[in-house]
Amino acid sequence: MTARASTVASRISATGTANALELRGLTRMFGALAALTDINLTVRPGERRAVLGSNGAGKTTLFNCITGDFPPTAGTIRLFGEDVTHFPPHERIRRGLRRTYQISLLFAGLSVRDNVYLACRGVSRYRFSLLRPRRDDALMASAEGLIEAVHLSDARETLVGDLSYGQQRQLEVALALAGAPRFVLFDEPAAGLSPTERRELVEILTNLPSHMGFIIIEHDMDVALRVAESVTMMHNGRIFKEGKPAEIESDAEVQALYLGGGHG
């Protein structure tokens, strides 16, 4: 086998049967503060997992380490079988990883369609092309598909600044889905939403393609339990419980810590 063939073969076997995500001994210090301590977490391809925990538990830091925005102080990160611990963020994006942010990063002066189109273009091989985008190209078609998937078809020409808050969060989901990712990290997408908007978001997330796994950070236990098939509870930078939604919901320790006022 040539070197190239063996590399391709190992890549295929790495992506075929491997876990979507494997964290081993992940630790992140900020000076003397341990934001994450010895996190071990495995997520299967297509699995939908919720991460719950009070403010400051380390949830966003966990995402920042997985995406490469912050390097971990110790530990390893494997993505679809490949060790990406020292890869820059764009190399992880290339391997199918996406995220949303807790704070909105939308272009307020652009329409919904232009935002989604630019996101599709940004992750495509045409991203450095100076050719003027044509409205009928394949990227535009995928943008339209994403707009529909997040229930914004009626608002496709609306400027982002004129969207409701709930619609803006739906748009953020669309941006994270650009370029057909394999694994997505959603950082509190339901924060600040009304009950109706929450129901809509739950429907959008539930209807994502089944091969697309994700982790959702969520404060609202009801949202988390409806979209996720497994739950990881974090506290003070550590994982203290994992299980099925029903097990977590009825767990006495979880209730005492999380439902008993510990979360803010």
Ligand X SMILES: Nc1ncnc2c1ncn2[C@@H]1O[C@H](COP(=O)(O)OP(=O)(O)O)[C@@H](O)[C@H]1O
Q: Which residues bind ligand X (CB under 6 A)?
A: 30, 33, 35, 53, 55-61
Q: Binds 55, which of Mg ion, ligand X, none (CB < 5 to 8 A, cut-off by type)?
A: ligand X
Q: How far apart are CA 118 and CA 116, in angstroms?
A: 5
Q: Are 25 and 76 contacting, i.e. CB atoms less than 8 angstroms apart?
A: yes
Q: For the residues of 158-215, what is the DSSP string, one character each?
A: SBGGGS-HHHHHHHHHHHHTTT--SEEEEESTTTT--HHHHHHHHHHHHTS-TT-EEE
Is 36 or 123 the residue whose CB approaches ligand X more closely?
36
Rounded Cα gap, residues 6 and 120, in angstroms:
31
The smaller minimum CB distance to ligand X, of residues 55 and 194, is found at 55
Binding residue for Mg ion, selected from 21, 26, 39, 60, defined by CB under 5 A: 60
Instruction: Choose among Mg ion, ligand X, none what residue 56 binds, the Cβ cut-off being 5 to 8 Å by kind.
Output: ligand X
Burial track 17-37 (b if 16+ CB lie within 10 A, e otherwise)? ebbbbbbbebbbeeeeebbbb
Closer residue to Mg ion in complex, CB, 100/142: 100
CB of 95 to Mg ion, least distance (A): 24
For Mg ion, the closer CB: 57 or 93: 57
Interface stretch with Mg ion, choices 58-66, 84-92, 142-150, 229-237 (CB under 5 A): 58-66
The listed partner (Mg ion, ligand X, none) that binds 72, CB under 5 to 8 Å by sort, is: none
> Does residue 85 interact with Mg ion by CB under 5 A?
no
